[in-house]
Amino acid sequence: MADGELGAVFRALATRGVEAAERITGRISAFTHETADAVEGNARNLTRSDANAEARLRAAGRHWASPEDIKAAAATAGNPIEYGVDSRGRATLTDAKGYTHIVGDTLDNPEAEDAYKFLNGQLDRSGTGYDPATGDGVRYYPQDDSHLITEKSLTELPDGSTEISGTTADMIRVMYRNGAPVDIVAVDTTAGDDIDRIVQTARNKLPDGTKYQANDVVVRARSAAQAEELAQRFAGSPHLRVVYPETGFDSGDFGQ
């Protein structure tokens, strides 16, 4: 995770939500049974203050949640995106559609890691990455797809379009406004040697494909020549992107 942003948000939310937090202290089970179990089993051993929220969140998946985590999460009630902590002590983000994404620490393979670092680097270089001073910007985070809270799913909407949960994608892209998360997009990665197979796999990961895994897909190219050809094959596809970190090649931001 990038230094500071989630911790800063947690601290701000906790400050603004003191009254709400106090109201749930005596009825924590009403928040969520998973969170209640985590808090009740560990509250005696965890006394860290809100000033340590960043450290707790960066260690998501390795340490249990403290009551302060729950207070900060409760303070996001009513926001488009809500923070939470599951029974395994992992930080969660529930999007406006009710799908819960688990913030992870690692990615599945080195090429996904390369793509993740490159995408965040591009955000920072362009000035659109998360800025803790303003509370605005965008950041990618690894997503933990083990022990899911919201299962992988595909829903057909009345207008004929499709909607996915996005909870098994490699990453999530989170947009912040005024220190609060306001949008989540699921992003998966792929790579390979055979260009035709890469194209098929990438397209199948999208909501209208056969895997319905992610809203956007980034291909981590293995050579400059491969990157150029894939970019041509994906031209006009706003949800497919090709990067080759060795040369800084980027076929363009999602949505372009």
Task: Record the tokens describing residue 13, joined without a space.
Answer: 């939310």
Size of the chain in residues: 256
β-pairing, 216-220 with 180-190? parallel
Distance (Å, rounded) from C-alpha 149 to C-alpha 102? 8
Query: What is residue 86's predicted lDDT score, i.e. its pLDDT?
Result: 83
Query: What is residue 20's predicted lDDT score, i.e. its pLDDT?
Result: 33
Query: What is residue 76's predicted lDDT score, i.e. its pLDDT?
Result: 61
Task: Record the tokens describing residue 197, joined without a space.
Answer: 């197979």
Query: What is residue 43's predicted lDDT score, i.e. its pLDDT?
Result: 32
Q: In 3-state terms, what secondary structure has residue 19?
A: helix
Q: Tell me, what DSSP letter sits at residue 30?
A: G
Task: Give the predicted TM-score (pTM) of the model.
Answer: 0.72
Distance (Å, rounded) from C-alpha 62 to C-alpha 256? 38
Q: In 3-state terms, what secondary structure has residue 242?
A: strand
Query: What is residue 57's predicted lDDT score, i.e. its pLDDT?
Result: 44
Query: What is residue 90's predicted lDDT score, i.e. its pLDDT?
Result: 84
- Residue written as token pair 């659109």: 128
Q: Tell me, what DSSP letter sits at residue 152?
A: -
Distance (Å, rounded) from C-alpha 231 to C-alpha 245? 14
Residues 219, 241 contacting (CB under 8 angstroms): yes
Residues 155, 216 contacting (CB under 8 angstroms): no
∠ Cα 163 91 201 (to 5°): 40
∠ Cα 128 129 132 (to 5°): 115
Query: What is residue 200's predicted lDDT score, i.e. its pLDDT?
Result: 98
Q: In 3-state terms, what secondary structure has residue 4?
A: coil
Residues 180, 76 contacting (CB under 8 angstroms): yes
Q: What is the mean pLDDT of each run of 10 residues along the chain (256 residues)?
A: 50 40 33 36 31 42 53 64 83 91 91 95 92 88 94 90 94 88 94 98 96 97 98 96 97 83
- Which contacts of 25-34 are long-range, i.e. CB under 8 A and separated by 24 or more positions? 25/67, 25/71, 28/70, 31/70, 31/73, 31/74, 32/84, 34/86, 34/87, 34/149
Task: Record the tokens describing residue 43, joined without a space.
Answer: 């509250």
163 backbone φψ class: left, alpha, beta (φ>0; ψ -120 to 50): beta
User: For residue 138, what is the enclosing H or E element?
Assistant: strand 137-142
Task: Record the tokens describing residue 76, joined without a space.
Answer: 């996001």
Q: In 3-state terms, what secondary structure has residue 55?
A: helix
